[in-house]
């Protein structure tokens, strides 16, 4: 039975999944829009929403948590530009747009971007 196993594993060990989410989040923050598989985009969305909400607090502790989760460069952008952009927004900072399947292996693809 799969009780309490709702998260996606992506066929990776825990540290590899953490690294995957960090790198996807880092790329999304710096580029504003990335193309990835649909399950990865769906897993990245709540991760990013929490980081942007954390960046809106503008405290030293929140900045340090951001830096530990996605790095200094991306944390500065979240705490500076993105938090100002979404100051009055209560959530829903990202949008997932589904695309057609990938040509090589027919994986469902999606674009995740900031609203």
Domain residue ranges in the chain? 33-114
Residue-wise pLDDT for 45-67, tens only, equals 999 999 999 999 999 999 999 99
Residue-wise pLDDT for 24-42, tens only, equals 999 999 999 999 999 999 9
Phi, psi (deg, nearest 5) at residue 53: -60, -40
What span, in angstroms and rounded, lies between the C-alpha atoms of 4 and 42? 18
pTM: 0.91
Find the angle CA(40)-CA(6)-CA(10) to the nearest 5 degrees: 35
Is residue 48 within 8 Å of 28, Cβ to Cβ? yes
Is residue 91 within 8 Å of 114, Cβ to Cβ? no
The CA-atom distances, in angstroms, between 63 and each of 53, 82, 109 are 11, 13, 32
CATH-assigned architecture of domain 33-114: Alpha-Beta Complex (3.90)
């Amino acid at each position: 039975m799969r009780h309490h196993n709702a998260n996606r594993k992506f066929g990776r060990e825990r540290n590899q999944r953490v690294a995957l989410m960090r790198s996807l989040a880092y790329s999304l923050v710096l580029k504003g829009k990335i193309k990835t598989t649909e399950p990865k985009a769906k897993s990245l969305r709540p991760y990013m929403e929490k980081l942007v909400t954390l960046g809106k607090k503008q405290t030293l502790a929140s900045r340090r948590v951001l830096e530990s989760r996605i790095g200094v460069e991306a944390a500065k952008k979240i705490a500076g530009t993105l938090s100002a952009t979404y100051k009055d927004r209560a959530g829903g900072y990202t949008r997932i747009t589904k695309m057609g399947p990938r040509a090589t292996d027919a994986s469902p693809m999606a674009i995740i971007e900031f609203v």
